[in-house]
Structure 1
Amino acid sequence: MEKEETRVEEDEEQQQEIWSWGAGTDGQLATGSLQDEHSPRFIRSLSAYGPIVYLSCGGAHVIALTSGGRVLTWGRGTSGQLGHGESVSNLQANIVKALEGFVITHVSAGWSHSGFVSETGAIFTCGDGSFGQLGHGDYDSQCYPREVSYFASKPVEQVACGMRHTLVLLRGNVEISIYGFGSGKRGQLGISMDKVKSTSLPQITRGLENLKIVSIDANGDHSSALSADGSLYTWGRGFGCASDTYIPCFSDVAFPISKVALGWNHALLSTREGDVFMLGGDRHGVLSDLQNSPSTTDVRGKSKENIRQIVPGPPNVKAVQIAAGAEHSALITANGSIMTWGWGEHGQLGLGDTNDQTSPQVVALGRKTTCSHATPRVYCGSGFSFVLMTRMSTFG
């Protein structure tokens, strides 16, 4: 019996490995402890739930989506953001039982609230509602996921949770596709030319009518949308020295964008060719001294924003994925390298120390992966990081 259990365990490791590092004071690393980890830590506890296909890392909690559409959460839960019916933190992952009757296709973790979208287009929210960010028409918090009734006849495709606001992208070719609710004092809802303190009911995000939006993102007081032709639109708190914008503005960056990752003071952009650029950011080493670093190149578009290219290594090395935490960044290169830079106070760069880094550094996992032909994906929370190493054949 012992040998059979060992074989099962090895097979699970070969299918997928999960690693975490950084701030752990609320249990967000799923290590079973409340301490920071300065180097990647192998997480064995999540293998019991089957392959995980997506993670969303928030202020200090994590939402995991399995291949079967089940939802796991762990970390800080003091506002009910874990969806387990109580306002307590969890050091280990637990299934969100209130969503067991649904196949969930998209999730998002904000600072202290959470959003979940089902395959039928229903959207559920829970956690802190004190800014109206749950979209239920009140400012109450919720410990269980509750369906946002406003979208009962408007199927939802994606949800994006920022610090105190939420964006929703509707499904299909609809004329008006993005809605916002929650805090709007920095313009992050995009619902009015005037300053809006908050709204607890979904409101239409202006300025994106008749555009085919394929993805949305939110973090801190920032919001963004990406159109099918690679055009980027941003609103909310300005990056760098730029002023706040209250409705979506086209970012004239002179090249089509395929992926966006927002931090608190910066944004990462990547092209279909794998080039990575950064907007804003001048704290904790996120962009300091980059003009003197051999790993960056200045690129200036027609907008007022400075856009700097991030070069992870030799010129022929390209990125296949990007991620942004509060004030740190990560990418995966085409050759499978995991690279991080920026703020490192909690060990969130995974480099074995708490130093900041102004250019991408390679993260070494603690041991050689047992996942053959593994495809790594990186996810960043406010001060922590996760990596999924998954066999390509697992979902093929």
Structure 2
Amino acid sequence: MPRKKTTDVSGNGAIKKKRAGAKRKERDFSSDDEFDYEQENNKKPGRQTTKSGLQPVTVADDVKEKIKLEYPKVKGQLVIFGATNWDLIGRKEVPKQSAAFRNLGQNLWGPHRYGCMNDVQVSSVISGPCAAHSLIITTEGKLWSWGRNEKGQLGHGDNKRLEAPKLIETLADKIIVSAACGRNHTLALTEEGTAYSFGENKLGQLGQGNQTDAVLSPAAISYNGQPLVKVACGAEFSMVVDCKGNLYSFGCPEYGQLGHNSDGKFIARAQRIEFDCELIARRVAIFIEKSKDGQVVPVPNVVVRDVACGGNHTLILDSQKRVFSWGWGGYGRLGHTEQKDEMVPRLVKLFDFPGRGAAQIFTGYQCSFALSEMGGLFFWGVTNTSRESTMYPKSVQDLCGWKVRGLACGKSSILVAADESTISWGPSPTFGELGYGDNKPKSSTTAQEVKTLDGIYPEQVMMGYAHSMIIARAESTQDKEKLAKLPEYNPRTL
């Protein structure tokens, strides 16, 4: 992905332009009524829209909902496999500043228990397809983190890499119900509906109203609206959903992934491309459907229930079980039968039929999944860029007959919790994230049960860029005996 360069930041969240000639033609679409559909139908490629001075979303206390979110009722033991050399994941070599850690962390070819976590009950595990760091939420609602930390994405007030989970002390007095990981940033959501962010903020992906290299400790995002109920992170952007079903985004607008009808791109001095980043949460107000001849039709009454982000694209699921996608269209990850970038949320038509709505949505780095209300799993996009792309949602035939309960996707590999089994597949190269064991890389073009986890019930599955984690049920004596047979991972530290 092209490196994004920024200059000085003005008070309203726009990047100051060095030359008058760099002005862009823009327009702010802040409500459905202001959206000109005739203009959109005749819009030329690359045409930009204007953004006025934005202020943080604010709702008066007397009309603000009072909520208390619940964290998952799951509890179990953390199991990990895949790459654990956090500074090397996704890179050809370890950066010079981390040279001392070059040989720290190995590929775990099969599932392992974290030795230091044997007595910790986990209710949720979090990472992302761009992430080399991970989080867990314990059954007490406490947030722990570990992994790569060059931008402070672990939230411990420093940028020191961590080999094993550690409690984030700044949030120790909060009850955390969910969280999300971007490439180098993190969001955490409390039971009262407040979102905290930390990590890299060069592109405003923390939503704190400014742009800085790194924020090392958790701070609340610049938002005082209705309580939030969902958070999600792309590589360098973020999404949040409030209790009324409104969607907000902030961070890097490249490819239109923020959903504000612009990719934020403009040419500054010396023909350098820069991006007008969103530094505070801004509501995504427009949802559309496109006909075969390209005509744009508004889709009203979209109440967002869930959101998932890939590297540079986003999916939402609304209250009517409809799926919308937008952002980078490469490799068919948006499911619209074309590879065009979408600047506003566009309806994925397959799920807009009675009885064929979606129940859950998932995203990988450059692919998308939806679980239909009938239990069928659909895939579109690509996991192997050397093979043909899937341009629209297609049923995953390998999983027909399985009851899929959860799914996670890394850079290219996929992990599924179905019935009482864990299933995985993915192209080469692999780093053990498929969990097949035998101390050597293995790939699979078809879904296979992870035999090394036979008899171990996966309460939840999760993947980072090249590592996998599950929460394994540990209720009965038989569960504990099965887990005890797994090798124990005790990472070295410097």
Task: Report the Cα offset of residue 273 of structure 1.
Answer: 3.0
Deviation at 1:252, TM superposition (A): 0.7
Kindly indicate which of the two structures has a greater share of residues assigned to strand.
Answer: 1
| CA deviation after TM superposition for structure 1 residue 165, in Å | 0.3
Residues 1:158 and 2:244 are matched in the alignment? no
Given the alignment of the two structures, is residue 347 of structure 1 paired with residue 432 of structure 2, yes or no? yes
User: What residue identity is the alignment partner of 2:459?
Assistant: P
Deviations 1:1-37 (A, max 9, x none): xxxxxxxxxxxxxx733221111111899xx961111
> Are the equivalent residues in 1 in contact too, given 2:309–2:315 (CA < 8 A)?
yes
Q: Distance in 2 between matches of 1:143 and 1:48?
A: 28
Q: C-alpha separation between the residues in 1 aligned to 2:383 and 2:225?
A: 43
- The aligned residue for residue 449 of structure 2 is 362
Give the aligned partner of residue 12 of structure 1.
none
Partner of 2:466: 383
* Structure 1 Cα separation of the partners of residues 380 and 410 of structure 2: 14
Deviation of residue 392 (structure 1)? 6.8
Residues 74 and 137 of structure 1: CA distance in aligned 2, closer, same or farther (over 3 Å):
same
1:323 aligns with 2:408: yes
Cα distance 1:390–1:365, how it changes in 2: closer, same or farther (>3 A)?
same
Moved runs in structure 1, 4+ residues, more than 6 A? none
How many Å separate the matches in 1 of 2:237 and 2:453? 37
Cα distance between partner residues in 2 of 1:125 and 1:289:
37
Counterpart of 2:258 in structure 1 is 189
C-alpha displacement of 1:267: 0.8
Larger radius of gyration: 2
Q: Does 1:89 align with 2:161?
A: yes
Conserved? CA contact 2:239–2:248, under 8 Å: yes
Alignment partners' CA distance in 2, 1:91 and 1:28 = 13
Q: 1:289 to 1:248 in 2, by over 3 A?
A: closer
Structure-2 residue corresponding to 1:269: 370
2:134, 2:366 → 1: CA distance? 21
2:350 corresponds, among 241, 249, 253, to 253
The alpha-carbon deviation at position 229 of structure 1 amounts to: 2.1
Instruction: State the SS of the aligned residue for 2:134.
Output: strand
Where does 1:17-56 land on structure 2 (aligned, <5 Å)?
A: 17-26=77-86, 34-49=105-120, 51-56=121-126
User: Mean alpha-carbon deviation: is it higher for 193-202 or for 107-116?
Assistant: 193-202
Match of 1:143 in 2: 216
Query: In structure 2, do the counterparts of structure 1 residues 282 and 80 end up closer, same or farther at CA, with 3 Å as the change threshold?
Result: closer
8 Å contact from structure 1 (residues 70, 95) kept in 2: yes
Find out whether 1:101 has 2:101 as its counterpart: no
Matched, 1:68 2:149: no
Q: 1:337 aligns with which of 418, 421, 439?
A: 421
Q: Which runs of 5+ in 1 are unaligned?
A: 1-14, 291-297, 299-304
Structure 2 residue identity aligned to 1:184: P
Relative distance call for 1:230 and 1:367 in structure 2 (3 A) is closer
For the pair 1:212 / 2:272, whether they are aligned, the reply is: no
- Find the aligned partners of 1:311 and 1:42 in 2 and give their Cα distance: 32
Contact 1:195 1:246 survives alignment (8 Å): no
What displacement does 1:204 show? Answer: 1.5
Aligned AA for 1:307?
P
What runs of 5+ residues in structure 2 fail to find an aligned partner? 1-74, 90-102, 266-274, 288-299, 333-338, 477-494
Check the 8 A contact 2:151/2:184 in 1, yes or no: yes
- CA shift for structure 1 position 218: 1.1
| Structure-2 change in CA distance of 1:120 and 1:329 (3 Å) | same
CA distance in 1, matches of 2:342, 2:247: 16
Residue 150 of structure 2 aligns to a residue whose secondary structure is coil
Identity of aligned residues (%): 21
Distance 1:388 1:60 in 2: 18
Task: Say whether the 8 Å CA contact 2:239–2:249 is kept in structure 1.
Answer: yes
**1 CA distance for matches of 2:411 and 2:106?**
19
Which of 243, 249, 254 in structure 1 is aligned with 2:340?
243
Q: Is the 8 A contact 1:279 1:308 kept in 2?
A: yes
For these two proteins, the number of residue pairs brought into alignment is: 351
- Residue type at the aligned position of 1:387: I
Corresponding residue for residue 204 of structure 2: 132
The 3 A distance-change label for structure 1 pair 95 and 28 is farther
Give 3-state SS (helix, strand or coil) of 2:258's partner: coil
CA distance in 2, matches of 1:44, 1:272: 39
Given that residues 239 and 281 in structure 1 are in contact (C-alpha distance below 8 angstroms), is that contact kept between their aligned partners in structure 2? no
CA 306–366 in structure 1, closer or farther in 2 if over 3 Å, else same: closer
Name the structure 2 match of 1:6: none
- Give the alignment's Cα RMSD to 1 decimal: 2.5
Per-residue deviation, 1:248? 0.4
Amino acid at match of 1:273: M
**Structure 2 Cα separation of the partners of residues 392 and 78 of structure 1:** 37
Are the structure 2 counterparts of residues 250 and 163 from structure 1 closer, same or farther at C-alpha, using a change threshold of 3 Å?
same
Give the residue type in structure 2 aligned to 1:23. Answer: A
Cα 1:289–1:212 shift into 2, 3 Å: closer
Confirm or deny that 1:307 pairs with 2:393.
yes
Counterpart of 2:381 in structure 1 is: 280
Give 1:366 shift.
Answer: 5.9
How far apart, CA to CA, are the structure 2 residues paired with 1:100 and 1:362? 38
- The 3 A distance-change label for structure 1 pair 27 and 70 is farther
Distance change in 2, residues 1:359/1:248 (3 Å): same
Partner of 1:114: 186
1:202 aligns with 2:299: no
Which one has more relative contact order, counting CA pairs under 8 Å at least 6 apart?
A: 2
Contact 1:110–1:162 under 8 Å retained in 2 = yes
